[in-house]
């Protein structure tokens, strides 16, 4: 290995350690705060039990558990055009989480709205279904496997809510290889 390679790897390791230390510190401060918010927050998520990713149901449950614990008061899950040969995700979600409300959009409605046979899920139509049914005045339209970061939770907890405000957040993708097979 060259000196340049070693320097690069050390720099990457330092950046990762710094990020981990900052995240741990933020999480510890969050746990100590009472994090009272001035407003309730709903998370709107969409999905279907079609093995789009093999561990989707597991990641969905983990995400809901974290988001409800951290910041979300209400989860609206829209199961769009569920496959006939699979169990509904909605059934188990409402049993597992008291904060979850589920809406199932059947194939008949999907076929009236969508004329592309290769498009089984209309994400933004489904999110609109959820947004219209959310009860909380603040809504996070998110993906079903997005855990709201500790820094975002702190910012939302400390920020006064206003009808004049809208939030956006940068998304950071984490390379998830848990379910992938080695060649």
DSSP 120-175: ---HHHHHHHHHHH--SSEEEE--TT-PPPHHHHHHHHHSPP-TT-----------
Edge-first strand order for the sheet with 138-141 is 100-105, 74-80, 41-47, 138-141
The top-scoring range by mean pLDDT among 8-17, 27-36, 117-126, 166-175 is: 117-126
Over the chain, what is the mean pLDDT?
85
In three-state secondary structure terms, 105 is: strand
Task: Please answer whether residues 70 and 148 qualify as being in contact, where contact means their C-beta atoms are separated by less than 8 angstroms.
Answer: yes
For 54-87, the pLDDT digits (tens) are 889 999 999 999 999 988 999 999 999 999 999 9
Burial class (CB in 10 A: 0-12, 13-18, 19+), 37: middle
Centroid of chain to Cα 182: 27
Cα–Cα dist 6/27, whole Å = 31
pLDDT at 34 exceeding the cut of 50: no
pLDDT at 28 exceeding the cut of 70: no
Cα–Cα dist 164/41, whole Å = 16
**Model confidence, pTM:** 0.75
Q: What is the mean pLDDT of residues 94-120?
A: 96
- pLDDT for the residue 22: 73
- pLDDT for the residue 145: 87
pLDDT at 124 exceeding the cut of 90: yes
Share of the chain above pLDDT 90, in %: 50
Task: Please answer whether residues 79 and 50 qualify as being in contact, where contact means their C-beta atoms are separated by less than 8 angstroms.
Answer: no
Maximum C-alpha span of the chain: 62
> Which one, of 143, 150, 153, lies nearest residue 20 by Cα?
150
Q: Look up tokens 């489904």; give the residue.
A: 126
pLDDT category, 26, cuts 50, 70, 90? low
- pLDDT for the residue 182: 63
């Amino acid at each position: 290995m060259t000196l340049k390679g070693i320097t690069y790897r050390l720099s990457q390791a330092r950046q990762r350690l710094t990020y981990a230390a900052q995240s741990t510190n933020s999480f510890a401060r969050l746990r100590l705060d009472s994090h009272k918010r001035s407003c309730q927050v709903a998370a709107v998520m969409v999905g279907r039990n079609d093995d789009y990713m093999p561990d989707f149901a597991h990641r969905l449950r983990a995400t809901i558990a974290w988001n409800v614990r951290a910041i979300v008061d209400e989860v609206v899950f829209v199961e769009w055009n569920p496959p006939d040969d699979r169990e509904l995700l909605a059934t188990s979600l409402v049993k597992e989480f008291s904060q979850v409300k589920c809406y199932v959009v059947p194939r008949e409605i999907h076929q009236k709205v969508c004329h592309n046979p290769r498009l089984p899920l209309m994400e933004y139509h489904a999110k609109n279904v959820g947004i219209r049914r959310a009860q909380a005045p603040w809504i996070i339209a998110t993906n079903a496997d997005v855990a709201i970061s500790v820094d975002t939770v702190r910012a939302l907890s400390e920020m006064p809510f206003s009808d004049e405000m809208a939030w956006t957040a940068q998304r950071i993708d984490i390379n998830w290889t848990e379910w992938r097979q080695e060649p």
